[in-house]
Amino acid sequence: MATTYSDKYGKQHVESAAVVLDCRDHGESDIIVTFFCRHQGRLTGIAKGAKRSKKRFVNKLEIFSSLIIQHSLPQNNRLAFVAEAELVDGFLGLRKNVACYTTATAICEFILLATKEMEGDEELYPLLIWSFHSLNSGLSPLSVLIFFLIRFFAAIGYSPQLESCLGCGQEVLTNETYSFHSSSGGIRCSRCNEKSTMERVRLSLGTLKSLTTALNQPLERLHRLQLSENSQEEALAFLHSYACQLFQREITSWAFLTS
């Protein structure tokens, strides 16, 4: 649970581990920040006087930063009040590399799309931290995005069905070919593939195997998994198509991704 305490005026504050997903200037001196917190989930707060108070917030309230923040709990859809922030990790390596930066931006977009204010999610926070750490320490940005997305869909309750055919229920066979159908969220074997124009993405056996492993591997071992160039391409095509189908819109930051 998050630590709570009262300040000298008796106002309740909470201390939270949080990652900055978005921040924007507000008026002359304030900054409005959207965080993803370990316990509270998404939280939008205002840091009063943050643009002037260099000491309290400088280099901290920046997109992607991992922080410990002291804040009030928002009531009646109002903004939380952010009193202080302590930098845990600024992920400097991630910021210096364009491909890492654009991948992290896409990851933030996905978290914003799938979460609501003050709805905690015990799986998403460690996944977000894992993604930024991996980008920061030099893991291939596209692999990080693929592993993030496959686990992200599982965390929000839409894990893609990759182990057996949605049509006949047969487990994946080595002498069969498979396609992913975004509208039904799973794969179909060649025999069950309707002769329709429904959008589908071909997934080779190697890709299916890697993605299934990525779904089941503990987070701390995910970085050891290797993806071939072909598997990266197939995985990105299917994950993009699935995301657009799930959220019923284009993913804005996808167009800026580079390898």
Min dist CB 162 to Zn ion, Å, is: 13
User: CB under 8 Å, gap of 24 or more: what pairs does 103-106 form?
Assistant: 103/135, 103/141, 103/142, 103/144, 103/145, 103/257, 104/64, 104/131, 104/132, 104/135, 105/63, 105/253, 105/256, 106/145, 106/251, 106/253, 106/254, 106/256, 106/257
Question: Residue 112 interacts with Zn ion (CB under 5 A)?
Answer: no
Stretch of 92-100, 103-111, 183-191, 242-250 contacting Zn ion, by CB under 5 A: 183-191
Stretch of 10-18, 55-63, 64-72, 166-174 contacting Zn ion, by CB under 5 A: 166-174
Question: Residue 189 interacts with Zn ion (CB under 5 A)?
Answer: yes
Cβ nearer to Zn ion, comparing 166 with 225: 166
Question: Residue 17 interacts with Zn ion (CB under 5 A)?
Answer: no
How far from each other are the two terminal CA atoms of the chain, in whole angstroms?
38
What distance in Å separates the CA atoms of residue 218 and residue 97, rounded to the nearest whole number? 27
**Taking every pair of C-alpha atoms in the chain, what is the biggest distance, in angstroms?**
70
Cβ nearer to Zn ion, comparing 112 with 173: 173
Question: Residue 162 interacts with Zn ion (CB under 5 A)?
Answer: no
∠ Cα 42 45 49 (to 5°):
155
Among 167, 237, 245, 246, binds Zn ion (CB under 5 A): 167
Question: Residue 58 interacts with Zn ion (CB under 5 A)?
Answer: no
Cα 165 to chain centroid, rounded: 27
Cβ nearer to Zn ion, comparing 120 with 167: 167
Q: How many residues appear in the chain? A: 259
List beta partners, residue 181.
186, 200
Cβ nearer to Zn ion, comparing 139 with 192: 192
Stretch of 22-30, 71-79, 168-176, 202-210 contacting Zn ion, by CB under 5 A: 168-176
Question: Residue 219 interacts with Zn ion (CB under 5 A)?
Answer: no
What distance in Å separates the CA atoms of residue 47 and residue 45, rounded to the nearest whole number? 7
Among 165, 203, 222, 243, binds Zn ion (CB under 5 A): 165
Residues 157, 158, 160, 161: is their CA dihedral positive or negative?
A: positive
Among 63, 192, 215, 237, binds Zn ion (CB under 5 A): 192
Question: Residue 239 interacts with Zn ion (CB under 5 A)?
Answer: no
Cβ nearer to Zn ion, comparing 136 with 182: 182
Query: Residue 67 in contact with residue 58, Cβ under 8 Å?
Result: no
Question: Residue 168 interacts with Zn ion (CB under 5 A)?
Answer: yes
Residues interacting with Zn ion, by CB under 5 A? 165, 167-168, 189, 192
